[in-house]
Amino acid sequence: MDVPLWLALIVVGALGIKFIRPPWWLVAVLLLGGFLLADSLLAPVIDTAISK
């Protein structure tokens, strides 16, 4: 069964929010921080660290 990555992330995120109940500001900061970090100069370093 092939599940798209975006669907898996939505399901995991929804379950995490439902069961762990983090504050909404923390969720927003993590999403915004990840988005900004993906477009920064550190993106290639993070990519090589994750892919190995």
Q: Which of 19, 22, 38 is nearest to 11 (CA)?
A: 19
Instruction: Determine the pLDDT at residue 49.
Output: 86
Average pLDDT over residues 18-22: 94
Token code pair at residue 26: 């923390």
Per-residue pLDDT tens for 28-47? 999 999 999 988 998 998 88
Using a cut of 0.85, tell me whether the model's pTM lies above it. Answer: no
pLDDT band at 24 (very low <50, low <70, confident <90, very high): very high
Q: Is residue 37 within 8 Å of residue 46, measured between CB atoms?
A: yes
The domain locations on the chain are: 24-52
Q: Is the pLDDT of residue 52 over 80?
A: no
What local confidence, expressed as pLDDT, does residue 38 receive? Answer: 87
